Amino acid sequence: MASSLVLANIDAGYGAVRVLEDVSLSVGEGETVALLGTNGNGKSTLMKSIMGIVRPSAGRITATIDGVAHELVGRSTEEIVDLGIAFVPEGRRLFPKQTVTENLLLGAYRPTARSAIARNLDFCFETFPRLKERARQLAGSMSGGEQQMLALARALMSSPRILLIDEPSVGLAPLLVKRTIDKIKELKEGFNLTVLMAEQNFTQAVRIADRGYVIVHGRIAFEGESAEALNNNELIREFYLGA
Protein backbone atom coordinates (compact mmCIF):
# COMPACT_ATOMS: atom_id res chain seq x y z
CA MET A 1 0.00 0.00 0.00
CA ALA A 2 1.05 3.54 -0.73
CA SER A 3 3.36 5.40 1.64
CA SER A 4 4.57 8.86 0.70
CA LEU A 5 5.62 12.16 2.16
CA VAL A 6 4.77 15.73 1.18
CA LEU A 7 6.24 18.93 2.64
CA ALA A 8 4.42 22.12 1.70
CA ASN A 9 5.80 25.61 2.33
CA ILE A 10 7.78 24.76 5.45
CA ASP A 11 9.48 27.48 7.49
CA ALA A 12 11.58 26.26 10.41
CA GLY A 13 14.54 27.28 12.53
CA TYR A 14 15.92 27.62 16.01
CA GLY A 15 14.54 30.46 18.10
CA ALA A 16 15.02 33.65 16.11
CA VAL A 17 17.24 31.92 13.55
CA ARG A 18 15.26 30.95 10.52
CA VAL A 19 16.84 28.07 8.60
CA LEU A 20 14.21 26.66 6.24
CA GLU A 21 12.25 29.02 4.05
CA ASP A 22 9.22 27.96 2.11
CA VAL A 23 10.47 24.44 1.52
CA SER A 24 8.24 22.16 -0.52
CA LEU A 25 9.20 18.67 -1.55
CA SER A 26 7.71 15.25 -1.96
CA VAL A 27 8.73 11.64 -1.85
CA GLY A 28 6.38 9.38 -3.78
CA GLU A 29 5.47 5.78 -3.12
CA GLY A 30 8.54 3.58 -3.38
CA GLU A 31 10.84 6.40 -4.43
CA THR A 32 14.35 7.15 -3.24
CA VAL A 33 14.74 10.91 -3.18
CA ALA A 34 18.05 12.65 -2.47
CA LEU A 35 18.25 15.89 -0.53
CA LEU A 36 21.54 17.37 -1.68
CA GLY A 37 23.36 20.24 -0.09
CA THR A 38 26.70 21.23 1.37
CA ASN A 39 27.39 22.00 5.06
CA GLY A 40 24.93 24.16 6.95
CA ASN A 41 22.31 24.49 4.24
CA GLY A 42 19.50 22.94 6.27
CA LYS A 43 19.42 19.23 5.41
CA SER A 44 19.36 18.05 9.02
CA THR A 45 16.91 20.77 10.01
CA LEU A 46 14.56 19.50 7.32
CA MET A 47 14.88 15.90 8.52
CA LYS A 48 14.32 17.02 12.12
CA SER A 49 11.25 18.97 11.09
CA ILE A 50 9.73 15.84 9.58
CA MET A 51 10.51 13.88 12.76
CA GLY A 52 8.99 16.48 15.10
CA ILE A 53 12.37 17.32 16.65
CA VAL A 54 12.24 20.84 15.20
CA ARG A 55 8.79 22.40 15.04
CA PRO A 56 8.03 24.28 11.81
CA SER A 57 6.58 27.77 12.22
CA ALA A 58 4.64 27.49 8.96
CA GLY A 59 3.66 24.89 6.41
CA ARG A 60 2.39 21.36 6.38
CA ILE A 61 4.01 17.94 6.39
CA THR A 62 1.76 15.11 5.34
CA ALA A 63 2.75 11.46 5.51
CA THR A 64 0.56 8.90 3.85
CA ILE A 65 1.16 5.52 5.43
CA ASP A 66 -0.44 2.51 3.81
CA GLY A 67 -2.97 4.75 2.15
CA VAL A 68 -3.92 6.83 5.22
CA ALA A 69 -2.86 10.51 5.35
CA HIS A 70 -1.49 11.99 8.59
CA GLU A 71 -0.50 15.59 9.29
CA LEU A 72 2.85 15.49 11.12
CA VAL A 73 3.33 19.09 12.28
CA GLY A 74 2.45 19.26 15.97
CA ARG A 75 2.99 15.56 16.64
CA SER A 76 5.67 14.21 18.95
CA THR A 77 8.62 12.28 17.59
CA GLU A 78 7.31 9.15 19.27
CA GLU A 79 3.96 9.47 17.51
CA ILE A 80 5.72 10.00 14.20
CA VAL A 81 7.83 6.87 14.68
CA ASP A 82 4.67 4.99 15.67
CA LEU A 83 3.08 5.95 12.36
CA GLY A 84 5.86 4.10 10.54
CA ILE A 85 8.53 6.70 9.87
CA ALA A 86 12.08 5.82 10.91
CA PHE A 87 15.05 8.16 11.12
CA VAL A 88 18.75 7.38 10.89
CA PRO A 89 20.27 10.54 12.35
CA GLU A 90 23.52 12.13 11.28
CA GLY A 91 26.39 10.66 13.28
CA ARG A 92 24.32 7.49 13.96
CA ARG A 93 23.43 8.28 17.61
CA LEU A 94 23.83 4.73 18.85
CA PHE A 95 23.96 3.74 22.52
CA PRO A 96 27.72 3.14 22.73
CA LYS A 97 27.64 1.25 26.03
CA GLN A 98 24.94 -1.12 24.87
CA THR A 99 25.58 -4.18 22.74
CA VAL A 100 24.69 -4.50 19.08
CA THR A 101 21.63 -6.59 19.95
CA GLU A 102 20.52 -4.17 22.66
CA ASN A 103 20.75 -1.29 20.21
CA LEU A 104 18.65 -3.22 17.73
CA LEU A 105 16.00 -4.03 20.32
CA LEU A 106 15.81 -0.36 21.30
CA GLY A 107 14.77 0.33 17.71
CA ALA A 108 11.70 -1.87 18.09
CA TYR A 109 9.70 0.08 20.65
CA ARG A 110 7.03 1.07 18.15
CA PRO A 111 3.94 -0.92 19.24
CA THR A 112 3.27 -2.49 15.86
CA ALA A 113 6.93 -3.52 15.58
CA ARG A 114 6.98 -5.39 18.89
CA SER A 115 5.21 -8.44 17.51
CA ALA A 116 7.71 -8.52 14.65
CA ILE A 117 10.87 -8.33 16.79
CA ALA A 118 12.07 -11.87 16.13
CA ARG A 119 11.44 -11.64 12.41
CA ASN A 120 13.04 -8.21 12.08
CA LEU A 121 16.06 -9.25 14.12
CA ASP A 122 16.54 -12.30 11.89
CA PHE A 123 16.25 -10.10 8.85
CA CYS A 124 18.80 -7.59 10.19
CA PHE A 125 21.29 -10.32 11.01
CA GLU A 126 20.77 -11.91 7.62
CA THR A 127 21.24 -8.58 5.85
CA PHE A 128 24.21 -7.55 7.98
CA PRO A 129 26.14 -10.74 8.85
CA ARG A 130 28.77 -8.62 10.58
CA LEU A 131 26.19 -7.48 13.13
CA LYS A 132 25.35 -11.09 13.88
CA GLU A 133 29.00 -11.96 14.41
CA ARG A 134 29.31 -8.94 16.72
CA ALA A 135 25.92 -9.26 18.40
CA ARG A 136 27.40 -8.97 21.89
CA GLN A 137 30.01 -6.34 21.14
CA LEU A 138 29.44 -2.84 22.53
CA ALA A 139 28.20 -0.53 19.80
CA GLY A 140 30.79 2.11 20.70
CA SER A 141 33.64 -0.25 19.89
CA MET A 142 32.43 -1.03 16.37
CA SER A 143 34.13 0.61 13.39
CA GLY A 144 32.51 3.61 11.70
CA GLY A 145 31.17 1.51 8.84
CA GLU A 146 29.80 -1.12 11.21
CA GLN A 147 28.13 1.59 13.28
CA GLN A 148 26.43 2.99 10.19
CA MET A 149 25.13 -0.50 9.35
CA LEU A 150 23.89 -0.84 12.93
CA ALA A 151 22.14 2.54 12.74
CA LEU A 152 20.39 1.46 9.53
CA ALA A 153 19.47 -1.92 11.00
CA ARG A 154 18.14 -0.27 14.15
CA ALA A 155 15.84 1.93 12.07
CA LEU A 156 14.50 -1.16 10.31
CA MET A 157 13.60 -2.76 13.64
CA SER A 158 10.62 -0.39 13.84
CA SER A 159 9.12 -1.94 10.66
CA PRO A 160 9.01 1.47 8.95
CA ARG A 161 7.22 2.35 5.74
CA ILE A 162 9.15 5.59 5.24
CA LEU A 163 12.87 5.84 6.03
CA LEU A 164 14.75 9.12 6.50
CA ILE A 165 18.54 8.88 6.42
CA ASP A 166 20.72 11.86 7.29
CA GLU A 167 24.14 11.76 5.62
CA PRO A 168 24.96 8.07 5.75
CA SER A 169 28.37 8.72 4.17
CA VAL A 170 29.74 10.96 6.94
CA GLY A 171 33.07 9.77 8.29
CA LEU A 172 33.33 6.72 6.05
CA ALA A 173 36.12 5.81 3.66
CA PRO A 174 35.14 5.91 -0.04
CA LEU A 175 34.71 2.16 -0.38
CA LEU A 176 32.48 2.04 2.70
CA VAL A 177 30.43 4.94 1.41
CA LYS A 178 29.77 3.00 -1.75
CA ARG A 179 28.83 -0.13 0.21
CA THR A 180 26.54 1.80 2.53
CA ILE A 181 24.73 3.43 -0.37
CA ASP A 182 24.35 0.06 -2.09
CA LYS A 183 22.96 -1.35 1.13
CA ILE A 184 20.36 1.40 1.34
CA LYS A 185 19.17 0.50 -2.13
CA GLU A 186 19.01 -3.18 -1.19
CA LEU A 187 17.06 -2.43 2.00
CA LYS A 188 14.69 -0.15 0.18
CA GLU A 189 13.88 -2.91 -2.27
CA GLY A 190 13.77 -5.69 0.36
CA PHE A 191 11.51 -3.76 2.71
CA ASN A 192 9.51 -1.94 0.06
CA LEU A 193 10.40 1.42 1.60
CA THR A 194 9.96 5.01 0.59
CA VAL A 195 13.29 6.77 1.23
CA LEU A 196 14.45 10.36 1.73
CA MET A 197 18.22 10.58 2.03
CA ALA A 198 20.21 13.73 2.83
CA GLU A 199 23.72 13.65 1.35
CA GLN A 200 26.64 15.86 0.48
CA ASN A 201 28.19 13.08 -1.53
CA PHE A 202 26.44 13.90 -4.75
CA THR A 203 28.01 11.19 -6.90
CA GLN A 204 27.14 8.38 -4.52
CA ALA A 205 23.64 9.61 -3.66
CA VAL A 206 22.67 10.04 -7.28
CA ARG A 207 23.65 6.44 -8.03
CA ILE A 208 20.58 5.17 -6.17
CA ALA A 209 18.25 8.18 -6.19
CA ASP A 210 15.27 8.31 -8.52
CA ARG A 211 15.42 12.08 -8.34
CA GLY A 212 16.45 14.83 -5.95
CA TYR A 213 16.42 18.33 -4.59
CA VAL A 214 19.28 20.72 -3.99
CA ILE A 215 18.97 22.85 -0.86
CA VAL A 216 20.93 26.11 -0.64
CA HIS A 217 20.62 28.45 2.36
CA GLY A 218 17.45 26.74 3.50
CA ARG A 219 15.62 26.99 0.20
CA ILE A 220 15.07 24.44 -2.52
CA ALA A 221 17.30 25.81 -5.27
CA PHE A 222 16.78 23.05 -7.80
CA GLU A 223 14.55 20.07 -8.28
CA GLY A 224 15.88 17.34 -10.56
CA GLU A 225 13.24 15.02 -11.98
CA SER A 226 15.81 12.31 -12.63
CA ALA A 227 19.37 11.41 -11.72
CA GLU A 228 20.35 12.59 -15.17
CA ALA A 229 18.74 15.99 -14.68
CA LEU A 230 20.78 16.37 -11.49
CA ASN A 231 23.96 15.35 -13.23
CA ASN A 232 23.41 17.93 -15.91
CA ASN A 233 22.44 20.80 -13.63
CA GLU A 234 24.63 23.91 -13.63
CA LEU A 235 24.29 24.51 -9.91
CA ILE A 236 25.48 21.03 -9.16
CA ARG A 237 28.34 21.29 -11.59
CA GLU A 238 29.39 24.45 -9.87
CA PHE A 239 29.01 23.29 -6.26
CA TYR A 240 29.87 19.63 -6.46
CA LEU A 241 31.66 18.69 -9.57
CA GLY A 242 33.98 21.67 -9.73
CA ALA A 243 33.05 22.42 -13.33
Site residues, Mg ion (CB under 5 A) = 43-44, 90
Residue 39 interacts, among Mg ion, ligand ATP, none and using kind-specific CB cut-offs from 5 to 8 Å, with ligand ATP
Would you count residue 17 as binding ligand ATP (CB under 6 A)?
A: yes
CA distance 35 to 154: 22
- Any bridge partners for residue 220, and if so which? 215
CA distance 190 to 31: 13
CB-wise, 135 or 216, nearer to ligand ATP?
Answer: 216
Sheet architecture: strand order including 17-27? 17-27, 4-14, 58-65, 68-71
Q: Which helix (H) or strand (E) holds 95?
A: none
Among residues 9, 14, 22, 141, the one that binds ligand ATP under rule CB under 6 A = 14
Q: Which of residues 199-228 bind ligand ATP (CB under 6 A)?
A: 200
CA distance 159 to 108: 8
Question: Residues 72, 52: contact at Cβ < 8 Å?
Answer: yes
CB of 34 to ligand ATP, least distance (A): 13
DSSP type of residue 15: T
Q: Quick one: which segment of 14-22, 100-108, 157-165, 183-191 binds ligand ATP (CB under 6 A)?
A: 14-22
CB-wise, 36 or 72, nearer to Mg ion?
Answer: 36
Q: How many residues bind ligand ATP (CB under 6 A)?
A: 13
Question: Residues 138, 94: contact at Cβ < 8 Å?
Answer: no
CA distance 40 to 218: 9
CB of 50 to ligand ATP, least distance (A): 12
Would you count residue 39 as binding ligand ATP (CB under 6 A)?
A: yes
CB-wise, 146 or 166, nearer to ligand ATP?
Answer: 166
Q: By the criterion CB under 6 A, which residues form the site for ligand ATP? A: 14, 17, 19, 37, 39-45, 90, 200
